[in-house]
């Protein structure tokens, strides 16, 4: 397919991504699924281009809005080509002639030379005087202010790190195969893997992986799971015969990890509000060979069948729905969807969820609260609010629940926290609390 056609598809896809409330990867998958005629090279061209536009969307939109009374996806695309790919007006005309002509024929006033001049002037002004501003890194202006006090002065390194695409991280079920052996198998298949620095189960692959065609995945030896998420699973520290509840289980990534860590010898109840996710968990558990995971459908504010677990669980992990600000490397569209109101809404909901599932913990049992957010309001703010309202839980030192001294770098004031610019993994937070009465 010629560049004009590829660019046209990219502009169409960008319009869908911006207008949709679904995650960008879902929109992109649906887009390709409806256009089977696109070859692998075409999909890669469009995918690489659209993700780079999304990653820089706030800046591209801002520059475009300063140069036109109204903008659409074509203007944003052209701004990307000028700023990120260094193209000039003549190169744009040469590379995408039919796309540009079709817009002109539709009545779009498009003077590329004037557009290039305006966009470059706007970008130069930002680059010269505002390199410390979130706009330069295409983040919402409030982003640094929501970070914890321990990251004062690290907003720019954090934003830079979040702008770098993350590698594909997998978790190896070491009950079935040593991590080193799995790495050798990937190497033999032309996909070299690097061991994760902290997780004893993780590998970072150098290439993308088609899971459905991978023998290790089909055999239940590997699962896609980011290193920081694996470490949160380690905090649960499952033991033989324990009753463990994975609240907000989703499709069950942590349930599967906990099952593997305990060698299948604990009882796991996976709770979620979404039937589809729980069905996916059942399929994944079957493929992994674990029969000790029981899915239970719950409703918002209603434990339903899970009410039978009140006061009985040895461990409860609440991996709460959140802004996902720590996963922007993988989900760059979260940047332009973030608002202060959205974050505040998540924090309120997280407090409600934590209160609901704390009921399941037995006296002497452990409650782990975690998010994939880097914002204080969703993390320590929720934990402190919960503990202030309860006299039956106390905060534990997360370092006591991790298996080695090397993890001390990931614990601040007893709280587990990872940051992409410090640890080269997603931003995650976890607090460990014990029910004392």
DSSP 342-357: HHHHHHHHHHHHHHHH
The distance from CA 369 to its chain's CA centroid, rounded to whole angstroms, is 17
Does the annotation mark 266 as catalytic? no
Q: Is 271 helix (H, G, I), strand (E, B) or coil?
A: strand
Q: Using alpha carbons, select from 340, 220, 383 the residue that is nearest to residue 289.
A: 220
State the Rg of the chain over Cα.
Answer: 24
Q: Which of 118, 266, 322, 372 is catalytic?
A: 372
Compute how many other C-beta atoms are within 10 angstroms of the C-beta atom of residue 68: 16
Cα(402)–Cα(249) distance, integer angstroms: 21
Q: Which residues contact 151 (CB under 8 A, 6 or more apart)?
A: 158, 374, 419
CA angle 343, 344, 350 (to 5 degrees): 90
Angle between helices 380-389 and 340-358 (to 10 degrees): 40
Beta-carbon neighbour count of residue 311 at 10 Å? 11
| Residue in the block written with tokens 């089909």 | 218
SS3 371: strand
Using DSSP's 3-state secondary structure scheme, residue 365 falls into strand
* Nearest 10 degrees: Cα torsion 100, 102, 105, 109: -30
The answer to whether 67 and 49 have CB atoms below 8 angstroms apart is: no
Please give the Cα distance from 190 to 209 (Å, whole number): 11
CA distance 14 to 374: 27
* Beta-bridge partners for 366: 315, 434
Among all residues, which ones are annotated catalytic? 372
């Amino acid at each position: 397919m010629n560049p004009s056609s590829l660019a046209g598809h990219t502009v169409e896809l960008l319009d869908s991504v911006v207008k949709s409330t679904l995650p960008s990867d879902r929109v992109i998958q649906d887009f390709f699924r409806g256009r089977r005629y696109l070859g692998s090279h075409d999909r890669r061209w469009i995918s690489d281009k659209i993700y780079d536009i999304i990653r820089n969307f706030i800046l591209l939109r801002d520059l475009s809005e300063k140069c036109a009374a109204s903008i659409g996806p074509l203007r944003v695309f052209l701004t990307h080509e000028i700023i990120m790919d260094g193209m000039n007006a003549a190169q744009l005309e040469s590379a995408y002639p039919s796309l540009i002509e079709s817009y002109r024929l539709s009545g779009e006033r498009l003077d590329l030379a004037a557009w290039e001049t305006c966009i470059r002037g706007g970008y130069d002004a930002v680059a010269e005087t505002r390199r410390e501003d979130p706009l330069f890194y295409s983040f919402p202006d409030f982003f640094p202010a929501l970070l914890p006090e321990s990251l004062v002065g690290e907003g720019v390194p954090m934003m830079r790190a979040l702008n770098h695409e993350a590698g594909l991280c997998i978790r190896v079920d070491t009950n079935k195969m040593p991590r080193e052996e799995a790495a050798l198998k990937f190497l033999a298949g032309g996909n070299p893997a690097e061991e994760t620095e902290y997780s004893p189960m993780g590998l970072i692959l150098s290439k993308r992986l088609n899971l459905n065609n991978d023998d290790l995945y089909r055999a239940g030896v590997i699962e896609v799971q980011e290193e920081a998420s694996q470490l949160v699973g380690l905090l649960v520290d499952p033991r033989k015969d324990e009753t463990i509840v994975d609240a907000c289980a989703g499709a069950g990534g942590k349930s599967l990890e906990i099952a593997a860590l305990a060698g299948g010898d604990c009882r796991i109840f996976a709770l979620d509000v979404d039937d589809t996710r729980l069905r996916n968990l059942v399929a994944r558990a079957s493929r992994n060979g674990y029969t000790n995971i029981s899915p239970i459908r719950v409703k918002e504010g209603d434990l339903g069948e899970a009410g039978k677990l009140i006061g009985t669980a040895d461990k409860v992990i609440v991996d709460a729905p959140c802004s996902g600000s720590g996963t922007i490397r993988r989900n760059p569209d979260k940047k332009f969807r973030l608002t202060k109101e959205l974050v505040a809404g998540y924090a309120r909901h997280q407090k409600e969820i934590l209160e609901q599932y704390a009921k399941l913990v037995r006296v002497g049992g452990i409650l782990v609260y975690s998010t994939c957010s880097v914002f204080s309001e969703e993390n320590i703010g929720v934990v402190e609010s919960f503990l202030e309202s309860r006299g039956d839980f106390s905060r534990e030192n997360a370092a006591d629940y991790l298996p080695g001294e090397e993890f001390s770098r990931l614990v601040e004031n007893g709280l587990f926290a990872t940051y992409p610019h410090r640890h080269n993994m997603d931003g995650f937070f976890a607090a460990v609390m014990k029910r004392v009465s």
